[in-house]
């Protein structure tokens, strides 16, 4: 779930927002040039450069988000069916894999009002009476080790997942949302996943970590051609740092998923954080360079 980020997370997002604001005053008009002709002074205006067109990039990202949403609904239904059938071990096994499809496209849900807190709020993020979604189920499954009393929460989670799928085709997506979303996905990792705070009962934080990084990397891949035309060195640097972070995560894979966060050593968590920070800094420059 989206958090109230502290520095440096807020700084990264702000750098994009303010970069965009800073360009507002110059986007349509360049500084006037002055010429003299037969004693008269004439001012000419340099034609504004055409606005960058990200229609293809937006269409590509919407297609990706729709595909992720389709599978998210399917996997969430398998998870909630297991909960309602009283299959505790199966429900636990399906919980984290289902969440990954959501974590990859979380910026979309965050743009749709209450859908993000309804699906992904943790205990204390919202009023107790309003708390539902994955983490409400997670608490009972792992802390109380039972599926009892979760039928209504299961039905509401599946309903919210289907509502997200219904809205993803029409939600307003632009290049700014994509660039900001990529940075926010890394902020999510930095503020809750790498610290083990997101999955406080199941300790499946590395599933979320990997999915957030994959979602951010997908946005970079969609925009990399435009970015390369602006700054080839930065585009290469971002690509290399995504690769380095993926390599750092690889040893923690276990079967189709990831090891429990509780198995990580302090030095391993520190190394993951350092790789994350090394990627976040150049990634935060994308919005300014692309003019979004």
* C-beta contacts of 194-197 below 8 A and 24+ residues apart: 194/269, 194/272, 194/273, 194/276, 196/261, 196/262, 196/264, 197/122
Write out pLDDT tens, residues 116-141: 999 999 999 999 999 999 999 999 99
Closest by CA to 141, choosing from 196, 193, 98, 86, is 86
CA 220 to chain centre: 12
pLDDT at 44 (0 to 100): 65
CA-atom Rg of the chain in angstroms: 22
Burial class from Cβ neighbours inside 10 Å (0-12, 13-18, 19+) for residue 233 reads exposed
43 found inside a domain: no
Write out pLDDT tens, residues 69-101: 999 999 999 999 999 999 999 999 999 999 999
Q: Which domain holds residue 127?
A: 54-290
48: left (phi over 0), alpha (psi -120 to 50) or beta: beta
pLDDT at 245 (0 to 100): 95
202 found inside a domain: yes
Q: Which residue has the tokens 């001012």?
A: 43
4 found inside a domain: no
E-strand ranges in 78-184 read none
1 found inside a domain: no
40 found inside a domain: no
What pTM does this model have?
0.83
**Which helix (H) or strand (E) element contains residue 33?**
strand 33-37
CATH number for the domain that contains residue 141? 1.20.1420.20
pLDDT at 52 (0 to 100): 81
192 found inside a domain: yes
For strands 257-258 and 40-44, give the pairing: unpaired
Which sign does the torsion angle of CA 126, 107, 14, 23 carry?
Answer: negative
pLDDT at residue 23 greater than cutoff 60: no
* Side-chain-facing half-sphere of 69: CA atoms under 13 Å: 23
Domain count, the chain: 1
pLDDT at 187 (0 to 100): 87
Confidence tier at 284 by pLDDT (50, 70, 90): very high
């Amino acid at each position: 779930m989206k958090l109230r980020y502290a520095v440096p997370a807020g700084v990264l997002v702000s750098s994009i927002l303010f970069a965009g604001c800073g360009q507002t005053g110059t986007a349509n008009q360049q500084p006037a040039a002055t010429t003299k002709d037969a004693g008269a002074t004439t001012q000419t205006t340099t034609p504004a450069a055409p606005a960058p067109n990200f229609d293809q990039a937006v269409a590509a990202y919407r297609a990706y988000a729709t595909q992720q949403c389709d599978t998210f609904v399917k996997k969430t239904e398998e998870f909630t069916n297991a909960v309602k059938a009283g299959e505790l071990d199966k429900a636990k096994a399906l919980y984290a894999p289902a969440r990954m499809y959501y974590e990859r496209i979380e910026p979309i849900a965050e743009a749709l009002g209450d859908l993000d807190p309804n699906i992904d709020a943790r205990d204390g993020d919202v009023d107790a009476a309003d708390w539902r979604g994955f983490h409400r189920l997670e608490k009972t499954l792992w802390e109380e080790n039972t599926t009892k009393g979760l039928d209504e929460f299961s039905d509401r989670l599946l309903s919210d997942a289907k509502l997200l799928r219904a809205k993803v085709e029409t939600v307003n997506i632009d290049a700014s949302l994509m660039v900001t979303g990529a940075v926010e996905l890394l902020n999510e990792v930095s503020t809750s996943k790498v610290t083990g705070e997101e999955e406080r009962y199941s300790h499946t934080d590395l599933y979320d970590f990997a999915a957030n990084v994959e979602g951010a990397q997908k946005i970079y891949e969609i925009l990399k051609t435009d970015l390369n035309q602006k700054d080839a060195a930065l585009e290469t640097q971002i690509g290399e740092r995504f690769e380095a972070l993926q390599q750092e995560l690889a040893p923690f894979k276990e079967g189709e998923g990831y090891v429990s966060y509780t198995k990580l050593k302090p030095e391993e968590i520190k190394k993951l954080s350092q790789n994350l920070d090394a990627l976040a800094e150049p990634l935060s420059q994308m919005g300014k360079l692309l003019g979004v």
